[in-house]
Amino acid sequence: MLRPAWVPTGLRSHLSRRCMPLEYRTRQSFEASLSMIYRRVGSSPASVPPRCLASTTHIKTALLPLNKQLEATHQQLLPDAEDAVDTATKISRAQQILNHEFQNEELLWEALQTPGSNVPMLGGRALTQGNKRLASLGDAVATMIIKHECYVMNYSIGETSDFVQRVVNNPRLISLCNEAGLTACINRNPSQRGIVSPQTLADTIEAVIGAVYLDGGINKARSTMKLLRII
C-alpha cells in the first residue's frame, strides 16, 4: 500500500479540495485524514462510513495508474538487486573455497562465467566465450607448474607428458570442480535453465587457476592447485 507521503503534490491538492472535510485545513490534519482513508481502502464497502465512501472510491481510482507504475518499476529493479546479491554470494563462496581473497574480484567473477551468461563484458574484456580465455591461461599455468614439479622429481620427458595427461584431463577436472563446490558458484547461461555442461566445469577449474595466477602470482596458483587436489 502506498504511503500518504508518496502521493504527488497535485493529487494532494486535488484531494484536499474535493475529498476532505473542510475542517482539515492544515497539512498535519490532511496527512492524518489521508492515512485514515488509506487504511479504510482495503476494507469492505459495508465497513466504510457513507461520508468516506465517495472519497475512498475516488482515491482508489485516482491512484490506480500510480500503483501500476510503481509495480512495474519494482519488477524492473528487483532482478538487478537479486543479481547483485547473487554475484556477491558466489564471489564470497568461491574465495572461501580457494582460500584466496582477490585484490581484483573481477578476475574471479570472469573465471565463473559460462558462455552466454548475463555478463557480456567485465573490466573492459569481452566475455563472449565466458571463461574460456581465462581457462586457456589457467591450463598453461597448471601445465607449467606440473612440469616444474616433474623436473624437480627428475621425471623423463615421456613420464612428464604422461603425468600431465593424468592430472589435467577433463573427467578429473570435472570431478574436482564438483567436489570443491565451485559448481554452485558458476554464473550460468539463463537460456540453459541452470544446466552447466561438463566442459564448462573443466574450464572453470582451469579459469580459477588463471585468475589466481593473475591476482596472486605463480606461488599462489601452485597453492591453489594443491588445495583443489589437482597436484
**pTM for the predicted model, two decimal places:** 0.64
77-126 pLDDT tens trace: 334 455 666 899 999 999 999 999 999 999 999 999 999 999 999 989 99
C-alpha cell at 53: 465512501
Picking from 24, 33, 45, 47, the residue whose alpha carbon sits closest to that of residue 4 is 33
SS3 126: strand
175-191 pLDDT tens trace: 999 999 999 999 999 88
Number of neighbours of residue 158 by Cβ within 10 angstroms? 8
Cα–Cα dist 209/146, whole Å: 13
Q: How far is CA 144 from CA 20, 34, 101, 111, 219, in A?
A: 80, 72, 23, 19, 12
pLDDT of residue 57: 56
C-alpha cell at 213: 595466477
